[in-house]
A and B are shown apart, each in its own frame.
Chain A
Amino acid sequence: MNDSREKIIEVYDLVKRFGHFEANKHLTFDVYRGEIFGFLGANGAGKTTAMKILCGLSKPTSGSVKVAGVDVNRHPEAVKKRIGYMSQFFSLYNDLTVKENFRFYGGVYGLGKKEIQQRTRYFLDKLNMQGYESMLLRNIPLGWKQKLAFSVASIHRPDIIFLDEPTGGVDPITRRQFWEMIYEASENGTTVFVTTHYMDEAEYCERVSIMSEGEIKALGRPRELKDRYGVKNMNDVFLRIARNVE
């Protein structure tokens, strides 16, 4: 059934080496349009490395990566118009206000003045943050910042949005709200590519891949994976895979 859907990310035999260390060992996988794709793995499994390659932030050693139909290795800048990215380190400007952050990124993505204003209003309304537009980002709590970062990353209506551990250090309520935003984006046709350490979040994904030591050890719907390993939740799936490695 999946094969009939449009592939928005196609990764084939991706290898990334840092000297003698192989961070990504021959990764091959596809992501479909509109999907929420969970990219799981322990710390140091090579998730962030792979994600940076997909976003054109880093060059692969070998292999091919196509994002939104564009060869990332050859045309990294062409891909960038089509994607949004939220890094695991908070990376909006703390010394700019909420509105100024939106305006800057909107401008950089080539949005018109009116459109920037509309999009800013849209996100502030959605986040219930009306009246905070002139507040410096440094004075805003982390959970809110993460939601703002997600909004800024999708200001230009990207085809795919990459989220690198977006809910790290965020309280459960905000985490839930964050996932509501992810669902909404997905319903609007945006593909969401997300890494996380929270296995309950993995259950929310349409499909997940689990990486360990630079390889994808398992890939499928959460239900399929749970059946395959004969366990009740994704946490146990993760532990099984991690244990096999040890």
Chain B
Amino acid sequence: MRTIRYILQKEFIQIFRDKSMLPIIILIPVLQLLVLSYTATFEIKNIRLVVVDHDHSTDSRNLINKFSGSRFYKYLGEESSYKQAENDIAAGKTDQVLVIEPDFEKKLITEGNASVQVVTDAINGSAASLMAAYAVSIIQGFNENIVVHKSPLHYHGLPIDVSSLFWYNPELNYITYMVPGILVLLITIIAMFLSSMNIVKEKELSTIEQLNVTPIHKLEFIAGKLIPFWIIAMVDLVIGLLLARFWFGIIIVGSPLLLLSVAAVYLVLVLALGLFVSSLTETMQQAMFISWFVLVIFILMSGLFTPIESMPVWAQQLDKFNPLAYFVKINRMIMLKGAVFNDFRKDFFILAGYAAAMLTFSILKYRKTSG
């Protein structure tokens, strides 16, 4: 055990003596959290809207006011005919056209329902679905009895399933939703990169050879190498949680201690993966490419940006091996829903088992001898 102390001492001196390390460890995660949380949003603002109002009634005017008053819309004005409005879309001058039928108000009063048409530029399919959903939401907020005919323009065969997109997500909720996931991503990147690169760096500088002729025990060496990065990643997580609370104003519904405990186990898994990468590679460049390759797949499949439920079945099966998927899920459950241990017990045990298995495997794979 005394040996571990000397290794830890050496590692911490080296980490903090390297002037580029402190910014990498503290500043970059903070910046990424700030930038990503504001930009990783599917929300669309400033939708340009042109209206063709055939009714010119109080109700039609009120409906238009609803749009121009929305902070998601930028009302450009009216066109006298649909043909002209369509030209505006074709020319890229507007994103959406709202067509109000001639007897809109009259029908609304006498028959109790009326209809409008919303034409959306569907060059970007997913943005179009959202814009259409926004329009529907505003119109039905105005009067539930208005039937909306949606027509996408520049439609490239992407199915626009508007019915599934009838949610309406104000900005604040989006950040609340993204920040916990992005936090997971950041500590994963830090832990994985630092651990895999650090051991490979000793290989590259051939200082590892000097260590390998000492009676240092394999386990002591690995512990001495991984513990510093475990601590750093935990510190990053705490900083991130403080930012979430005091910068983004996110109230962590569940127990922060529970979250940190899960993170403690999760990080063992990530560090074990980093150790594994470092035993596969000889240079920092190789370690970097492999770590990045693995991480990109983990991140894209983590459910952070796209829901896992909408992935193909084989991908969902693969995600059972994706540590990020588990932790993103648990993290959101704790932070947003206030989940307690029992709510995610099964996921946690899978994660813990996975961590134990990966660590054992990586330790067995690590060799003090070569060739």
Chain A residues in the interface with B (C-beta under 8 A): 18, 52, 55-59, 76-77, 80-81, 83-85, 87, 89, 91-96, 100, 103-105, 107-110, 162
Contact A107/B2 with A56-B369, A93-B14 known, Cβ cut-off 8 Å: yes
| B209 and A91 within 8 A (CB) | yes
How close is B342's CB to chain A, nearest CB, in angstroms?
A: 45
* Cβ-neighbour of B207 out of A77, A91, A109, A162 (below 8 A): A91
Which residues of B sit under 8 angstroms from A76, Cβ to Cβ?
368-369
- A-B pairs with beta carbons under 8 Å apart, 30 shown: A55-B213, A56-B213, A56-B369, A57-B213, A57-B368, A58-B370, A59-B371, A80-B213, A81-B215, A85-B209, A85-B210, A87-B206, A87-B210, A89-B206, A91-B206, A93-B10, A93-B207, A95-B14, A95-B17, A96-B13, A104-B6, A104-B9, A105-B214, A107-B3, A107-B5, A108-B6, A108-B214, A108-B216, A109-B215, A110-B3
B211 CB within 8 Å of chain A: yes
Tell me the complex Cα distance, A233–B205, Å: 37
Q: Mark B177-207, 1 if CB is under 8 A from A, else 0.
A: 0000000000000000000000000000111
Which residues of B sit under 8 angstroms from A18, Cβ to Cβ?
371
Contact A110/B215 with A100-B10, A104-B6 known, Cβ cut-off 8 Å: yes
Which residues of B sit under 8 angstroms from A56, Cβ to Cβ?
213, 369
B333 CB within 8 Å of chain A: no
| A91 and B205 within 8 A (CB) | yes
Tell me the complex Cα distance, A246–B329, Å: 69
B161 CB within 8 Å of chain A: no
| B210 and A103 within 8 A (CB) | no
Contact A87/B209 with A59-B369, A80-B214, A96-B10 known, Cβ cut-off 8 Å: yes
| B10 and A77 within 8 A (CB) | no
Contact A100/B214 with A93-B207, A95-B18, A108-B6 known, Cβ cut-off 8 Å: no
* Cβ-neighbour of A92 out of B9, B207, B215, B217 (below 8 A): B207
With contacts A57-B213, A95-B18, A96-B10 known, what are 5 further pairs, Cβ within 8 A? Answer: A57-B368, A57-B369, A108-B6, A108-B214, A108-B216
Interface residue tally of chain B, by bracket?
20 to 34
| A109 and B214 within 8 A (CB) | yes
| B14 and A57 within 8 A (CB) | no
Which residues of A sit under 8 angstroms from B108, Cβ to Cβ?
none
B232 CB within 8 Å of chain A: no
Nearest residue in B to A80 (C-beta to C-beta)? B215
Which residues of A sit under 8 angstroms from B213, Cβ to Cβ?
55-57, 80, 83-85, 162
* Cβ-neighbour of A57 out of B9, B205, B370 (below 8 A): B370
Of B3, B6, B215, the most chain A CB neighbours within 10 A belong to B215
List the 4 closest pairs (A to B, CB-CB), nearest first: A107-B6, A85-B213, A91-B210, A89-B206
Q: Interface majority SS on B: helix, strand, loop or mixed? A: helix
How close is B2's CB to chain A, nearest CB, in angstroms?
A: 7
How close is A195's CB to chain B, nearest CB, in angstroms?
A: 15
* Cβ-neighbour of A108 out of B14, B18, B211 (below 8 A): B211
Nearest residue in B to A55 (C-beta to C-beta)? B213
Nearest residue in B to A103 (C-beta to C-beta)? B6
Nearest residue in A to B5 (C-beta to C-beta)? A107
B212 CB within 8 Å of chain A: yes
Tell me the complex Cα distance, A89–B206, Å: 7
Tell me the complex Cα distance, A56–B371, Å: 11
Nearest residue in B to A162 (C-beta to C-beta)? B213
How close is A107's CB to chain B, nearest CB, in angstroms?
A: 3
Which residues of A sit under 8 angstroms from B212, Cβ to Cβ?
57
Tell me the complex Cα distance, A181–B13, Å: 30
How close is B275's CB to chain A, nearest CB, in angstroms?
A: 19
Which residues of A sit under 8 angstroms from B209, Cβ to Cβ?
57, 85, 87, 89, 91
Of B2, B18, B214, B369, the most chain A CB neighbours within 10 A belong to B214
How close is B197's CB to chain A, nearest CB, in angstroms?
A: 15
How close is A9's CB to chain B, nearest CB, in angstroms?
A: 15
Tell me the complex Cα distance, A93–B211, Å: 11
Tell me the complex Cα distance, A92–B206, Å: 9
Tell me the complex Cα distance, A110–B14, Å: 21
Tell me the complex Cα distance, A95–B3, Å: 20
Within 8 A of A (CB), among B1-22: 2-3, 5-7, 9-10, 13-14, 17-18
Within 8 A of A (CB), among B114-169: none
Which residues of A sit under 8 angstroms from B5, Cβ to Cβ?
107
Tell me the complex Cα distance, A72–B251, Å: 60
| A104 and B10 within 8 A (CB) | yes
Tell me the complex Cα distance, A96–B207, Å: 12
Which residues of B sit under 8 angstroms from A52, Cβ to Cβ?
370
Which residues of A sit under 8 angstroms from B215, Cβ to Cβ?
77, 80-81, 108-110
Q: Mark B1-45, 1 if CB is under 8 A from A, else 0.
A: 011011101100110011000000000000000000000000000
Which residues of B sit under 8 angstroms from A110, Cβ to Cβ?
2-3, 215
How close is B208's CB to chain A, nearest CB, in angstroms?
A: 8
Nearest residue in B to A90 (C-beta to C-beta)? B206
Nearest residue in B to A58 (C-beta to C-beta)? B371
Tell me the complex Cα distance, A61–B217, Å: 24
Tell me the complex Cα distance, A54–B333, Å: 56
